[in-house]
Amino acid sequence: MKPSESSLPLAFGGASISGEGGGYGFGAVSENEAETLIRHVYERGVRIFDTAPIYGFGLSEERLGKYLPKEAQIISKSGVHWHENKRVDMTNSPEVTEKMLRETLKRINREMIDVYMIHWPDPRVDIRRPLEVLKNYQDKGVIRQLGLCNTNSEDLKKALEVASIDYLQSEMSLFKTESFTGLSPEKFITMSWGTFDKGILTGRVFKGRKFDESDCRSWAPWWNNKEVMEKVERAEALAKRLEQDGVSLKHFALQFNLQFKGINLILAAAKSTKDFDEILELAQKPLSQDYIEKIFIEWSQS
């Protein structure tokens, strides 16, 4: 699978369609709304759909499995699983890796998955151990390509001793630009997540906003802290500056990632067809590289 097989340098972020399932998600989306959105995104030309078991405790994978044509390409991941009481655990143990892969295949209703990634580094487990499991499944034709998500140079080096790694995925936005540093991204298909930093870079997040119970931003400790509020304030300042030029914050954030050197694909998530169509429209309205650099430097130094 290569990015050129999609008509756009965009992949759809599956965390947006599973909020009511719990886990990592961003608010309730009904079954009918999810079906309509998934089919709409595919019809608009997107062919790569990214998900993970923790998105809705399997609900995102199930919905993609139900409503995506078999021609669509699915990316999923191992490493973030949960116990029966929904307590989340993160481990790259070989046993959990194999179990999660098998469960994902059942949810997406496929005998083969296009790309399978290790979701996060695990300092307790040598990454070569789960990679040996996944390489075995790749040799059997169950996994087409392998990838690492949120990785580091040490894990990547070890992983390459065991298997060919085709994809690297990591967080990248106006607030975080160093994730691929030291990973030789030119050797891989690179994919960025967090384009809008969980809504902060859309202008829809503001101090005092309340999120419903099915939105992880209502309870997650990594959200409810001073750092996030500082980001919100900085995003609001950038939005005011961009407004002088008739550019929206969302437009600028999207184009920043699309034009970032070394990034092949960006994840773009939406909860409605209207929001996704706006993303497509903004993706097709490039801002000049000089303008992006100028504004970004000004903002970074302010």
Alpha helices in 55-114 (DSSP H): 59-67, 94-108
User: Which pLDDT value is given to residue 7?
Assistant: 63
- 3-301 to CATH, choices 3.10.105.10, 3.20.20.100, 3.40.50.300, 3.30.70.260: 3.20.20.100
Low-confidence ranges of the chain (pLDDT < 70): 1-7
Residue 253, number of CB atoms within 10 A of its CB: 25
CA dist 34 and 17 (Å) reads 6
pTM of the model: 0.95
Residues 6+ positions from 14 with CB-CB distance below 8 Å = 49, 50, 51, 52, 55, 60, 61, 63, 64, 269
pLDDT of 107 reads: 98
Domain ranges of the chain: 3-301
How many helices (H) and strands (E) the chain has is answered by: 9, 10
Nearest-CA neighbor of 17 among 196, 275, 229, 279?
Answer: 275
Least Cα distance to 254 among 241, 270, 240 occurs for: 270
Q: Are 143 and 116 in contact (CB under 8 A)?
A: yes
- Which pLDDT does position 224 carry in this prediction? 87
Neighbours of 158 (CB within 10 A): 14
**pLDDT tens digits along 203-220:** 999 988 999 999 999 999
Task: Report in angstroms the alpha-carbon separations of 253 from 19, 260, 285, 288, 297.
Answer: 24, 11, 12, 13, 14
For position 190, what pLDDT does the model report? 97
Secondary structure (3-state) at 169: strand
User: Residue 260, by phi and psi: left (phi above 0), alpha (psi -120 to 50) or beta?
Assistant: beta
First to last CA, the chain: 41
State residue 8's pLDDT score.
Answer: 75
Res 95: pLDDT: 98
Give the count of beta carbons closer than 10 Å to the beta carbon of residue 64: 27
Given this model, what pLDDT does residue 15 score?
A: 96
What CA–CA distance (Å, rounded) separates 105 from 213?
29
Q: Give me the half-sphere count of Cα atoms (radius 13 Å) on the Cβ side of residue 123.
A: 0
The reported pLDDT for the residue numbered 1 is: 44
